[in-house]
Structure 1
Amino acid sequence: MLFRIASLFACVALLTSATLPESGPLPEARPDSKPAETSQPVAPIPEPKPQQAPDAPAEKPATPAAPDGTDAKDKQGSEPADKPAAPADKPADKGNDGGKEDKSPVSNATDGKGNPPPEPLTIEPESDADHQACVKDLQAMGAVFKDIPRIDDGDGCGIDKPISLSEALPGIKFKPEGTMRCEAALALSHWMKESVIPAGEAALPKAGPIVTINQASTYICRLRNNGTTGKISEHARGNAIDIASFTFKDGTTVEVQPRKEDSTLTGAFQRAVSASGCLYFSTVLDPESDAAHENHFHMDVLKRNGDFRYCH
């Protein structure tokens, strides 16, 4: 009993003599958030600086000097405002743009209504083979003509392979001598031989054969009906012939004029040759068509789709 009491007092004395530590245990910092007082500041990464030549000033890279002693570029590196422009007649360097031209505003011009301008008119080319075949046929008809140099008067006026015709058939003069395409001359020769001469012999047998075709116009650079606007005339392409009258051997001249109501054989002759003209020409306009043709036949060999013909 005494031993237990003594042990109890010893334990009490031991407990009372013990002291608590000044501070409790400190918690360990989490791996992703260390205490501010223990973390190390991270130094900022310096931005890369442009590499400079050892002898260049740090604040400004050297720039080449222009011939007049000034810098070729300003401080920002842009081209100086007074740099001379490239000559206007020097083609722009196409570089690697696939060869496309730098189109100027002129090439994008319109007709004022937003439409591109019409393509410039050019002379229609004729193949050598076609021309030579026509020449051979015209020679076989007995026509008198000669080849003349190519005509190009601009704006689509001209003939690639023109001829000058002086006789449509043997003994039948074409006055004055006319310039045209061979195709127009060949149509004229066939019409005269197969239609006009027989009609003349039937209508005016005492006057004798026709000896002269009096023409009013062949090749001339102009618009239709001598207008100031509109389409180019077939005369400007060498396709057209205007016939003013026919002269017979005895001197009788039948002038082309309005003869719709003419009941004579002369009137019948004119109407007959006008109607037959459409067998050889693609266009025939006579005095009954309009005032612009009241004193001549207009005949041309304009090609139309489906061999369409206009005869009036």
Structure 2
Amino acid sequence: MSRPEQKAEDKANKDAETAPDASVKEDAGRQAQEDAKAEADKKAKAEAEKAAQRPHEDAKAEAACRTELKTLGVTFEEAPVVNDGAACGIDKPVLLKGLPGGVKVEPEATVRCEAALQVTRWLDASVKPSLEAAMPGETITVLSQASAYVCKNRNGAEEGKISEHAFGNALDIAGFTLKSGKTITIRPADKEPTLEGAFQRAITEAACLYFTTVLDPGSDAAHQNHLHLDVKERRGGYRYCW
């Protein structure tokens, strides 16, 4: 056998020895398919669990809520249906533009009617009287909101439970502008010995009379500059207030 022929044969034998066995390749391919299916099933299950959290919006209840908003003097418009997949969305949203007494909502907020209604009740029954006690003669002209509807998980996490913002159930209150031009911003104020600190503590405590979840700057790092208020339905009237 000539030298070139010998080299070719040796190379062929070496390739045959080092080539993966066909059955090994087949097993690897099967495992990859099983892993991909398992991952897809996991994602589908997570989406189904999130979709199950989306609240049912009863037509009669929504109509009654809108009637009450009008009676209270709330400025709002009907907003287009929001549908960001199986989990996120609002079937019958409203665009909240203003609250009683000429209080503007900035920016305007897309929420479920129930969230708009409870913000109105809280403002009229608790926020305004607390402000009058802390700063006589002052009135609120603007309610500044940091977040209304947005499709996201809680605290913006990549995984985990979906936020009530994703259902239009929540508003994040960043602060207020007063008639004098003064602004009050939500901040850590648990031990602040000022009238503004007392005002913030008063309206935070009162918020739990109207909302089922109240998270303030003392609750965790994700809420250092706003009040998270939502109307998540819970069994037995349970409320989560921090």
Q: TM-score, normalised by structure 1?
A: 0.62
2:82 to 151, 169, 184: 151
1:183 to 114, 138, 146: 114
Identity of aligned residues (%): 47
Match in the other structure for 2:207:
277
Match in the other structure for 2:20:
none
Q: Does residue 138 of structure 1 match 2:72?
A: no
Q: 2:202 is paired with a residue of what secondary structure?
A: helix
Q: Does residue 173 of structure 1 match 2:173?
A: no
Residue correspondence of structure 1 range 1-312 to structure 2 within 5 A: 110=38, 117-118=45-46, 120=48, 121-122=50-51, 123-206=54-137, 208-312=138-242
Paired with 2:188 and 2:119, the residues of 1 have a C-alpha distance of 22
Paired with 2:106 and 2:150, the residues of 1 have a C-alpha distance of 16
Paired with 2:212 and 2:55, the residues of 1 have a C-alpha distance of 18
Paired with 1:245 and 1:239, the residues of 2 have a C-alpha distance of 19
Paired with 2:229 and 2:62, the residues of 1 have a C-alpha distance of 20
Q: 2:174 is paired with a residue of what secondary structure?
A: strand
Paired with 1:272 and 1:256, the residues of 2 have a C-alpha distance of 12
Q: 1:154 is paired with a residue of what secondary structure?
A: coil
Relative to structure 1, is the Cα distance of residues 308 and 112 closer, same or farther in structure 2, using a 3 angstrom cutoff? same
Check conservation: 1:144, 1:170, Cα contact below 8 A.
Answer: no
Match in the other structure for 2:3:
none
Of Structure 1 and Structure 2, which has the larger fraction of its residues in helix? 2
Instruction: Using the TM superposition, give the Cα deviation of residue 228 of structure 1 relative to its aligned residue in structure 2, in angstroms.
Output: 0.5
List per-residue Cα deviations over 1:197-220 (Å, max 9, x = no partner): 0000110114x2111100000001
Check conservation: 1:234, 1:302, Cα contact below 8 A.
Answer: yes
Relative to structure 1, is the Cα distance of residues 167 and 113 closer, same or farther in structure 2, using a 3 angstrom cutoff? closer
Paired with 1:112 and 1:167, the residues of 2 have a C-alpha distance of 44
Q: 2:172 is paired with a residue of what secondary structure?
A: strand
Q: 2:158 is paired with a residue of what secondary structure?
A: coil
| Structure 1 residue ranges without an equivalent (≥5) | 1-104
Paired with 1:295 and 1:225, the residues of 2 have a C-alpha distance of 13
Q: 2:193 is paired with a residue of what secondary structure?
A: coil
Check conservation: 1:168, 1:185, Cα contact below 8 A.
Answer: no
Instruction: Using the TM superposition, give the Cα deviation of residue 110 of structure 1 relative to its aligned residue in structure 2, in angstroms.
Output: 4.7
List per-residue Cα deviations over 1:156-181 (Å, max 9, x = no partner): 11001000000122301111101000
Instruction: Using the TM superposition, give the Cα deviation of residue 142 of structure 1 relative to its aligned residue in structure 2, in angstroms.
Output: 0.4
Q: 1:271 is paired with a residue of what secondary structure?
A: helix
Q: 1:284 is paired with a residue of what secondary structure?
A: strand
Query: How many aligned residue pairs are there?
Result: 204
Instruction: Using the TM superposition, give the Cα deviation of residue 195 of structure 1 relative to its aligned residue in structure 2, in angstroms.
Output: 0.1
User: Based on CA coordinates, which of the two structures has the bigger radius of gyration?
Assistant: 1
Q: 1:205 is paired with a residue of what secondary structure?
A: coil
Q: 2:98 is paired with a residue of what secondary structure?
A: strand
Relative to structure 1, is the Cα distance of residues 200 and 230 closer, same or farther in structure 2, using a 3 angstrom cutoff? same
Instruction: Using the TM superposition, give the Cα deviation of residue 118 of structure 1 relative to its aligned residue in structure 2, in angstroms.
Output: 4.3
Instruction: Using the TM superposition, give the Cα deviation of residue 117 of structure 1 relative to its aligned residue in structure 2, in angstroms.
Output: 3.0
Instruction: Using the TM superposition, give the Cα deviation of residue 155 of structure 1 relative to its aligned residue in structure 2, in angstroms.
Output: 3.9
